[in-house]
Structures are given as structure tokens and as C-alpha cells.
Amino acid sequence: MTIRYEINPPRVIEDKVLSHKEVQASLKRVQKRISKISNLCDGIHLTDSVLGVPRISPITTGAIIRSDGIKMDITASLRVRDRNITALTQSVYDAILLGLDGLLILKGDEPPKGPKDSKLVPSDVVRHFKDLGFGKNLDFFLSIPADPDFDKITKKISAEPTGFVTQVIQSKNQVFRIVDRLKPQGFKIIPCIMIPSENNARSARMLGIEFSRYEESVLDFIAEIYKLTKDVLITSPNDFAAATKILAGIKGLKRK
């Protein structure tokens, strides 16, 4: 039973390539945020170069968090779009050796520069690593839409991941439909919920999310989803303060 919080590792490029000192300062800020919320949630999920913008490796960031002595579930996204199978294999080895708990294997956004598409398919990559036996030491997840066409994700289901992380959901019915179809097959389901706030509004518009569907009772909404899956991923890309407030509220509900 896990409440996870999604966090982006520091960028290595803003308007220019950042210096080592600037990157380290950004990393310290991320560490402080994670330390602050570590008693409010059960796990951290680290993204991998969202929108293709280069960031510190989520696996490296996860290892730093683990070395800080924070005892919580740590998962990370791993893009296949701009990596070959050799690089991915090294990342999986690193994730195991550095004490991470799971990897979300996904295609990833197209980067502004560099390789555009390795032609690797996330479901094939998960099957490859499970066939090699890595599934004994690491959970592997795949991403699915909030409203999946189950006939179009049969390859993902056949890959037999540990479970599925949804794209951002906005209704209980979306989750109920996924749970009803996939949970009986033994898959974990991790719905992703975006915290409604003015600072997150632009991200919501980009994803077609309507906060009005749940913003007046966000804690109740999260609690209902949590009851269905026992595992929720909270995302708040531009509003850490709002996320902290909601996570504190969720913790209060879990105590009741």
C-alpha cells in the first residue's frame, strides 16, 4: 500500500549547459524537498528527462536519496527512445546495485537534440529483461492511457510487467475500468493524479485534464482511488507547496 510522489531530477541544461556547481545546487534543492516530504508519503518516483530536456539520471538521483538514509520505495522512469539495449541493460544493473525498487519503462518524449528514436518498444524491453531474470530483483512497470483500449495494449499485457502506471486520471470510473480488467490478472495498478492548483494549470491543459472534475474534493478523490488500487502516484509538476499540503492531508486520512 503506497502513496508515491513524482519528482523531476535537476536539469543539466536551462538556457545554457549548467556548470557542475549549478547542477549540484539544484540537486541539493531536490534532496531537501524529498527530505521534507519523506514522512508524508511511502515512495518517490523519479522522472527521466520529461519533454526530452536533459536531466540528471533518475537512477543516480535515486541512489543519492537512498544514501541519505531515507527509507522509502524508490522507482524511476527509464526512456527507451534515445537509448540502445546495452545502455538500458547498464541502467537496470545500476538500479539493482544502487537499491532502487522498480523501473517504469516508457518510450519518452522526443528530445530537442540527439537521437530521436531507437526503435525500441517498451513492452519488448520489459519482456527482454524479465526473460533475463531481472524481474526477481526489480519491479518493471509499463505506462497505459487513462482510458485504454484494451485491444490495443495486448502486447503490454503479454509482456507481463509487475504492473501499469496510468497517465494522469481525472475520474474514479477510469480507474475502476482499468482495475476491473487488469487487477484480476495479477497486475499492480498505479493511477497518476495531478494536484489541482493554479501553478499546475498549464500542465493540466497540455494533458487535457479538467481540475473542475475533482478539485473541490481532491482528498476524497485520492482516497477513493487509493481504496481501489492501494497504490497512487501524486504528481504536481509546478507546485511543491500544494503537493506537500495534499500529502499531509492524505497521511491524516490514512491514520483514520
Name the more confident of 61 and 191.
Answer: 191
Grouping H, G, I as helix, E, B as strand and the rest as coil, residue 232 is strand
Delineate the domains of the chain, giving CATH numbers in brackets.
2-255 (3.20.20.220)
Instruction: Count Cβ atoms below 10 Å from residue 220 Cβ, excluding itself.
Output: 11
Grouping H, G, I as helix, E, B as strand and the rest as coil, residue 149 is coil
Of 17, 77, 32, 54, nearest to 235 by C-alpha is 77
pLDDT for 52 equals 59
pLDDT for 57 equals 84
Number of H helices, E strands in the chain: 9, 8
pLDDT for 123 equals 97
pLDDT bracket for residue 114 (50, 70, 90): low
Mean pLDDT of 215-225: 93
pLDDT bracket for residue 184 (50, 70, 90): very high
- Please state whether the predicted TM-score (pTM) of the whole model is above 0.75: yes
